[in-house]
Structure 1
Amino acid sequence: MGKVVVVTGAGAGVGRAAVEEFARHGYDIALLSRDVARIERAAADLQASYGVHALGISTDVADADAVEAAASRIERELGPIDVWVNVAMATVFAPVSRLTANEFERGTKVTYLGQVHGTMAALARMRTRDRGTIVNVGSALGYRSVPLQSIYCGAKFAVRGFTDALRSEIIHDRLNIHLTMVDLPALNTPQFDWALNKMGKKAQPVAPIYEPEVAARAIFFAATHRRRQVWVGFPTVKAILANRIAPGLIDRYLARAGYEGQLTDEPLEPDAPGNLFEPVAGDYGAHGRFDSRSRKGSWEMFTNRHRNAFWALAGIGLAGVALLVNKKKSV
C-alpha cells in the first residue's frame, strides 16, 4: 500500500495542482471539495494518468463533522493518512463597509476553521501512530493585509497564529509529526472568476503572478522535507519583510494602489458566479485566465529547495571577497 495524501480544496486551483503533484510521485490521493462532479472527474483523471488510487469526497471543510467523517472514510478505503494538506479557501472582493456578518462568518469558516478542522482530523489519527505531516497553506496576505480582502486576510492571519501555537504543542509532546506552513504569492487560479465580487469590475491577482504548479511543487517539497516554513516567490518575501520595516508606509501605498491593482478594467457580468455559499459548477481546473502573464518558476523557491548548496556558494563568495579585501590592504 502506497502513501496517502489528503488535499482539501482539491477541485480546482492550487488544490487541483497539488493532487497532480503528489500523484506524479506515486501517492494515493483523497480529494476533498464541495463540487462532487469536479472531484470525481479529477480523481478519475489521476487514476488514469498515474495509476494511483484516488478518492473524491464531497466535503464542506467549514463543517467539522463532515471533515471528520471524510478522514474516517479515507483511512478505511485508502489506508493511514501520511500527509494532510489544507488548501481550501474562500474570499470576497469588497470593502468592509459592503460586507455582511454572514459573509465574514462563512469566509472565516472556510479559510481559517477549514484548516483547523482538517488539522484536528489529521492530528487525531497521526498521534496514535506518532508519524505524519500536516501542511497548512498560508499567504503573503497573512502578514500584510490588502484592501478589498479583509475576510481572506483575517483568516490567513488566524491560520498562522493557530499553526505556530500547535507547533509548540507538538514539540512539547515530543511527537514525530511534522507541521509546516507554505506561504503563497499571487497565483493564476479560478478564484478570480468565481469569488464573490461586489466591485463591478473583474478581479485579478497583483503581478507578478505565478502558475499554480509553482505552489504545488512548494507544497510537496514542504511535505517531504523538514522545513518549518516555506515562502514561495520573492513578492512573498518582500511583502513579509517590508511590512516589518515600514507598515505605515505600506498602509498609505495600498490606500492609493491597492484597489486598482486588484481590479481590471473589464466590467463584471451581472450574473457573475460567486462560490462563497455554494460551489460554482463548471469545468474548472488548476489554472485561471492569466496564463499569458504568469511565471512558471520561483527563484526564491529554488534557493529554499537547495538552501545548503546556496549557503555554501554564498559562503565561498563572501570568503573570496574577504580574501580580495585583505590582499588590497596588504599591498
Structure 2
Amino acid sequence: MRVLIAADENAWGGLIPAIRQTLPDVEFVASAGHAAESLAGFDALIPGMCRVDARLLATADRLRLIQQAGVGLEGIDLRAAKQHGIMVANVPSDDSGNADSVAELGIWMMIGLARRQNEIADCLAQQKLGQPIGMGLKGKTVGLVGLGGIGKALAKRLAPFGMRMIGVKREADDAFAREHQLDWLGTMAQLPELLQQSDFVVLSLPDNAQTHRIIDARALAQMKPAGFLINLGRGGLIDKQAFLAALESRQLAGAGLDVFWQEPPDPNDALFRYNVIATPHIGGVTDISLAGNIKGICDNLRRLRDGEAVIDRQA
C-alpha cells in the first residue's frame, strides 16, 4: 500500500517518521512542501494543509482514503471526494489529545497578553523591577467562540482561574452551558453580545462559508476597548485588514495567533509590528497530541491495508 503525505519530511514534529515506524510494511511518500501535484499510484492521502480540490482528486487512479492528520477538513472538497468514491476521515480532537494541547496554548497566550509580555524584555534590559503591571484573569470575562473539542477543553481549564465564561455555538443548550460552567451560552447570531462582554475572545472554529471572516471591522468595533483576541482556529476567521486597523488604532489591545492567512506567515508581515503573540501553528504539536494523531492515523490505515471497515470520523 502506498500513502502520500502532503508535507515535508521533517514536518509536524516528527510525525512522519513515527508513522513509518508504526506501519513499516506501508510505503509512505512525503511531498515537497505542503502540496501535492498528483494522486496517481497512491491508495491513501494524508493532506495536512494541502488543498484537495476537484482538480487534484481527478488525478487519483486508485485512491481509497483521505486521512487527515488532525481535525481540519475545510481544505478538502468533500463532495468531489464522495463522487470519486473516496472515503474521508479525520482524528477527532477529543480522542487524540489535540484539543487539550491547543487549549493549553490558548491559555498561555491569554496569560502572556494579560501580563504584557511584549514589554517584559525591555523592563529586564532597563533593570526595572516590578514592571510592567499586569492584569489578573480572575473575574475577567472570556468569550469562547466555538465549543467543540477545543472550546470545551478551554472551559474545563479556565474554570479554576475564576473567570466568567460565556460562549456561542450553533445551537444554544442550557444543559451544555451548565455542564461546562458557562455563565451564558448563545447561538452564533448572538456573537455581538459575546464580543461586547468579553475581555478575551477566543476563536476555535473551522473556516467555512458560515464562519469565514466572522471577525470583521464591525465585529472588532463591538469588542470591549482594550480587549484581546486569540485565534486557535483558522486564519480566515478574521478579516486581516480590519484586524490590523484595530491594532493600529488600539481598539484591540493585542492578539494571540497560532494560525494565519498565509501559512507559514511572512516574517516581515505587518502584524508582527503590534502586540501579537504569534506561534507557528503549534497548538496541536505536543508529545500527547502527536501520539494521539499517530494512533488515529495508523489505526485507519491499518484497516484500509487489511480490508477492514475504515472509521469515518468527521468530527
Shorter-chain TM-score bucket reads 0.3 to 0.5
